[in-house]
Amino acid sequence: MSAVAQPSWHTPAEGGGGGRGRRVVDPPGTDERTVVRRPTAAEAKDALRRRARTQRGHRSPRLCEEAAARLAEVVLTIPEVGAARCVSVYASRPLEPGTGPVLEALAARGVRLLLPVLGTGLQRDWAEYAGADDLRERAPGRPPEPGTPPLGTDAVADADVVLVPALAVDAVGTRLGQGGGWYDRVLAHVRPGVPVVALVHVDEVLDTPLPREPHDRPVTAVATPERWWRVEPTDG
Whether residue 11 is contained in a domain is answered as no
Task: Check residue 36 and give its pLDDT.
Answer: 72
Are 178 and 142 in contact by the 8 Å Cβ rule? The answer is: no
User: Is residue 152 one of the residues assigned to a domain?
Assistant: yes
Task: List the one residue out of 217, 202, 215, 140 whose CA is nearest residue 3.
Answer: 202
pLDDT of 222 reads 98
- pLDDT at position 14 is 43
Does residue 174 sit within a domain?
Answer: yes
Q: How many domains does the chain have?
A: 1
In a domain, 23, yes or no: no
CATH label of the domain that carries residue 103: 3.40.50.10420
Residue 40 placed within a domain: no
pLDDT of residue 8: 52
Domain assignment present for residue 32? The answer is no
- Position 149 in a domain: yes
What is the torsional sign of CA 147, 149, 154, 156? negative
Instruction: Give the pLDDT of residue 28.
Output: 59
pLDDT at 127 (0 to 100): 96
Q: How far apart are the first and last CA of the chain?
A: 19
The pLDDT value recorded for residue 210 is 92
In terms of residue numbers, what domain contains 102?
61-230
144 vs 191: CA distance, rounded Å: 25
Distance CA 44, CA 11 (A): 8
Per-residue pLDDT of the chain (236 residues; tens, 9 = 90+): 444 445 555 554 444 444 445 454 555 555 556 667 788 888 888 888 899 999 899 989 899 999 999 999 999 999 999 999 999 999 998 889 999 999 999 999 999 999 998 766 557 789 999 999 999 987 777 789 999 999 998 999 999 999 999 999 999 999 998 877 678 788 888 999 999 999 999 999 998 899 888 888 899 999 999 999 999 877 65
Q: Is residue 207 part of a domain?
A: yes
pTM of the entire structure?
0.82
Tell me the three-class secondary structure of the chain, residue by residue. CCCCCCCCCCCCCCCCCCCCCEEEECCCCCCCCEEEECCCHHHHHHHHHHHHHHHHCCCCHHHHHHHHHHHHHHHCCCHHHHHCCEEECCCCCCCCCCCHHHHHHHHHCCCEEEEEEECHHHCEEEEECCCHHHCECCCCCCCCECCCCCCCHHHHHHCCEEEEECCEEECCCCEECCCCCHHHHHHHHCCCCCCEEEECCHHHEECCCCCCCCCCCCCCEEECCCCEEECCCCCC
Contact 208, 168 (CB under 8 A): no
Instruction: Name the residue among 138, 145, 140 with its Cα closest to residue 114.
Output: 145
